[in-house]
Amino acid sequence: MDRAVVKKWLIFFVGILCAIVIADAWSNKIVAVAGITGPTRFIVTFILYALIFFGVLYALEKLFKINFFGFGQK
């Protein structure tokens, strides 16, 4: 297997893992600081998680010039 392919997949998985960890931490922190509880907490956390997750992936794409899902391609 070519090293470039291995490097590409490694960057892909590490980038997604970073996005998951950051999105989870930030969304839970924001909801906790806001004091949201009950079923509303689940919905707000889910929406924040999704927004932060894709925002982090987009930032990683722009910062490191890597391509996760083709954000912004025509």
**For 13-63, what is each residue's pLDDT tens digit?**
888 999 999 999 999 999 999 999 999 999 999 999 999 999 998 888 888
Residues 6 or more apart from 53 whose CB is under 8 A from it?
Answer: 19, 20, 23
Cα three-residue angle 72-18-21, rounded to 5 degrees:
120
Determine the Cα–Cα distance for residues 55 and 53; give it in Å rounded to an integer: 5
Q: Return the pLDDT at 3.
A: 86
- pLDDT tops 80 at residue 1: no
- pLDDT tops 80 at residue 69: no
Q: DSSP letter for 73, please.
A: -
Q: Return the pLDDT at 57.
A: 87
